[in-house]
Amino acid sequence: MKREDFLSWEQFFMTVAKVCAMRSKDPSTQVGAILVNNLNQIISTGYNGFPRGVDDDKFPWSREGEWIDTKYPYVAHAELNAIVSARTNLTDCDVYVTLFPCNECTKIIIQAGIKKVFYLEDKYKDSNEVKASKKMLDAAQIEYKQINDFNVKVSIN
């Protein structure tokens, strides 16, 4: 008899996205994203961090203060990093991301031809960014689905 408590594909990919988030140095929010093709192959991975060459010991990680002195102008979002790292065509791929995409990433997701967005958390659902994301995804007829039928808890010692 086969095991019954194996991870579904959705649970597996979301767990991998969660592990990607563990690479992030952001002290407040760590986000991971992966792209998966229709053969269930992982095409690329990403997490939020500063661009190559932008020293994460020298640039600010703060959330508050003058915009130019916060992390926001500099940090590359997990979804952006996964998309630019992919070396194949992304048409009909799915994205698994641990936090609902912002409006800027959503534009990139749509233009890349991604078919479906799987997300774990939606903690900024009341923000205009996320509302704008959902308006665009609805208009573009791209489905989004929360994967919350299991508890992703990855602990590595």
Ligand X SMILES: Nc1nc(=O)n([C@H]2C[C@H](O)[C@@H](COP(=O)(O)O)O2)cc1CO
Q: Does 18 sit near ligand X (CB under 6 A)?
A: no
Q: Which residues pair with 143 in a beta bridge?
A: 116
Identify what 124 binds: Zn ion, ligand X, none; CB under 5 to 8 Å per kind. Answer: ligand X
Query: Considering beta carbons, is residue 10 or 129 the nearer one to Zn ion?
Result: 129
The nearer residue to ligand X, 3 or 75, going by C-beta atoms, is 75
Shortest Cβ 5–ligand X spacing (Å): 30
Reply yes or no on whether 79 is catalytic: yes
Q: Is 124 in the site for ligand X (CB under 6 A)?
A: yes
- Binding-site annotation, residues for Zn(2+): 77, 102, 105
Tokens 């640039």 belong to 59
Alpha carbon separation from 111 to 24, 33, 36, 115, 125 (Å, rounded): 25, 17, 16, 10, 22
Given 99, 109, 110, 112, the residue binding ligand X (CB under 6 A)? 99
We find the least distance from the C-beta atom of residue 49 to Zn ion, in angstroms, to be: 13
d(CA 26, CA 62): 9
* Residues present in the chain in total: 157
24 and 99 Cβ atoms separated by less than 8 Å: no
CB of 17 to Zn ion, least distance (A): 14
Beta bridge mates, 50: none
Q: How far is CA 5 from CA 84, 86, 120, 150, in A?
A: 35, 32, 20, 11
Query: What whole-number distance in Å separates Cα of residue 44 and Cα of residue 5?
Result: 27
Q: Which of 28, 128, 141, 157 binds ligand X (CB under 6 A)?
A: 28
Residues that bind ligand X (CB under 6 A): 26, 28-29, 31, 48, 63, 71, 75, 77-79, 97, 99, 101-102, 105, 124
Active site residues: 79
